[in-house]
């Protein structure tokens, strides 16, 4: 009977409750520009597609604004590998799943991406997300991209605002 009491006492001592726990870890991450990061975004010489402060930028190719009610193409939207506006390169030694999205944040106008994968298949990203698995976006793989900006329904005081997002994740 005494041994049973001893076990209960040991269990009570072993179950100390706590209200907070803090664990710190040091993290060191190297950061690089768009051309040499894991997700390489490289302009391909098309007017208006540049690297500004290490980041891919798509801008009006001259000091003038784009026309209203028009469509502007940066690169070959039919076959992006012929004349890509930019390419997306896997600069790592590992294949990744790659999600590419294009979103227009202004009320009017539109942004479309035309992507040609390493297998020669063309995909259109128009307000959604296109995913490539790690067998397609393997180490060193290149996806060529062309861009279409549509200024339909914009007035002379509007600005077309859009976002391109590239997410690489483990397969």
CATH of 38-169, one of 3.20.20, 2.70.98, 1.10.3470, 2.60.40: 2.60.40
Give the position of tokens 């859009």: 162
The domain locations on the chain are: 38-169
Q: Who contacts 40 (Cβ-Cβ below 8 Å, separation ≥6)? A: 34, 87, 88, 89, 90, 91
Comparison of pLDDT for 151 and 91, the residue scoring more: 91
Q: Who contacts 77 (Cβ-Cβ below 8 Å, separation ≥6)? A: 112, 114, 146, 148
Query: Which pLDDT score is estimated for 153?
Result: 83
Query: Which pLDDT score is estimated for 65?
Result: 81
- Judged by DSSP in three states, 59 sits in coil
- Rounded to the nearest 5 percent, the helix, strand and coil shares of the chain are 10, 35, 55
Calpha distance 10→76 (Å, rounded)? 74
pTM here is 0.80
CA distances from 158 to 66, 106, 128, 153 (A): 11, 8, 23, 9
Could you report the per-residue pLDDT of 27-75, keeping only the tens digit for each? 766 777 888 889 999 999 999 999 988 999 988 767 778 888 889 999 9
Return the structure tokens found at 96.
């990744």
Comparison of pLDDT for 147 and 15, the residue scoring more: 147
Extended beta strands in 45-160, E state: 49-52, 55-58, 71-74, 86-90, 97-104, 110-116, 122-125, 129-132, 142-150
């Amino acid at each position: 009977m005494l041994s049973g009491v001893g076990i209960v006492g040991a269990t009570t001592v072993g179950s100390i409750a706590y209200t907070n726990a803090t664990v710190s870890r040091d993290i060191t991450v190297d950061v690089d520009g768009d051309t040499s990061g894991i997700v390489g975004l490289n302009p391909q010489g098309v007017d208006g597609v540049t690297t500004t402060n290490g980041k891919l930028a798509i801008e009006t190719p001259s000091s003038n604004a784009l026309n209203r009610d028009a469509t502007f193409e940066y690169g070959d939207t039919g076959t992006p590998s012929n004349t890509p506006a930019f390419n997306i390169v896997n600069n790592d030694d590992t294949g990744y799943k790659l999600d590419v999205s294009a979103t227009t944040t202004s009320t009017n106008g539109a942004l479309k991406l035309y992507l040609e994968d390493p297998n020669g298949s063309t995909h259109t990203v128009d307000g959604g997300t296109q995913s490539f698995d790690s067998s397609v976006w393997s180490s060193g793989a290149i996806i060529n991209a062309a861009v279409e900006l549509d200024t339909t329904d914009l007035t002379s005081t509007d600005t077309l605002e859009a976002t391109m997002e590239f997410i690489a994740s483990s397969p």
